[in-house]
Structure 1
C-alpha cells in the first residue's frame, strides 16, 4: 500500500512538472544553426500576456496626453492639470517601455504580433466634449487606472509560474499603480472639499483655479 501511494505521488509530481514545463520555452534559438543567440527560458503564457498588455499602457498614455493637451490650451489655461496629466502619460509610457525591455532581456522575439495602434474609443464620448471639467478628467483617470491595474493583475496571474515575470509587474509597476490610484482619489476628494459651499459659477471658477495652482505647485 505504501509503495502504491509513493508511486502515485511520484506520478502526480512528474505530471505537474511536465504541465509546468510544457508552458516554458527553453530550448529554442533566435539565430542561425549554431544556436546563437539563445532565448532565456520563459513561460509562453506570461510573455503572451505581457505583449497583450503593452498596448493597454500606451492607450492609457494617449488618454493622459489627450487630457493634458486639452488643459494646456490658452482657452482653458489649467497648467497644473496639464502638467499632472502629461507627467502621468510619461509614467504609463515608461511602463510600456519597461515591458518591452523585459521581453528583450528574456530573448523573447518582438515581431509584428505587437500592435501599438491607438484606439480612439479609449476616449469616451463624454471626454471628447469641449466642456471637459476638472472633476470629469480626474474621474476618467481613476476609472482608467483601475482598469489598467485589473489588467496587470491578470498578467501576474498568467506569470504565476514565471516568478521573474510576475516580480517585474508587482514591483515597481503595481506599486506605482496603487500609489497613483490613491493620489487620484485623494485629489478628487480634496477638489470636492474645496467645492463645498461654492455652487455658483464664480465660486466654482475660483475653486478650479485654486485646485489647479495646488497641482502646479505639487502641493496635493
Structure 2
C-alpha cells in the first residue's frame, strides 16, 4: 500500500501502527509512480487527478429513483467513465491492464449490477474487473480501488457503518486498505459529512 493511502487507516483504525514494508521484503510490491497523462495541460480536472493524486473523492448527487433499490445511477455512470479513462492511461503508458490492476467495491448487489451495465455500455471487458461487496474483497488487493458508496438516504448511510467493539468502522477499513496505489471514492458529500470519519476522509482526498 502506498504511504499516502496508508496514512488515513493507520491513524483512524490502527493507532498509527501501520508501516510500509521495506523494499527488500520478500513478496513486497514496490510502490509505483502514477500514470502519466498525455497533453496534461489539455486534460480535464478528473483526468489530471487520475495522473497526479493518490486519493480522490468524486462528489455525486443522490439518486432519488434508485434509493429504494439501493442503487445510484450517477455513481455507476461515473465508474464507467473512470474505468475508461484509467484503461486509456494504462494503454498510453504501455502498462498492461490485468485483473489485478483495478477493483470496484460497493455495498449492494443491485449497485454491482448497475455498474456492470455501465461498464458494458462503454465496451469495457467486465471479466478483467472484480466488482463486489467489501466482505468478499477481504484478503484481496488491487493497484486501484474504486469505492461506490451508493447511499441515497441517511438511513442507508447509517446501515453502511459497521463498528467494532473498539469503535473502528470495519467495512470502511477493509475497503480503504484494498488499494495499493490509488483510491477513488464516489459518494454524496453532504450525506457523508454527517459522519466524522467520512468527513475527515473527504478532507484528505482530492475533490473532483
Please indicate the TM-score interval, normalised by the length of the shorter structure: under 0.3
TM-score by length of 2: 0.28
Q: RCO higher in 1 or 2 (8 Å CA, sep ≥ 6)?
A: 2
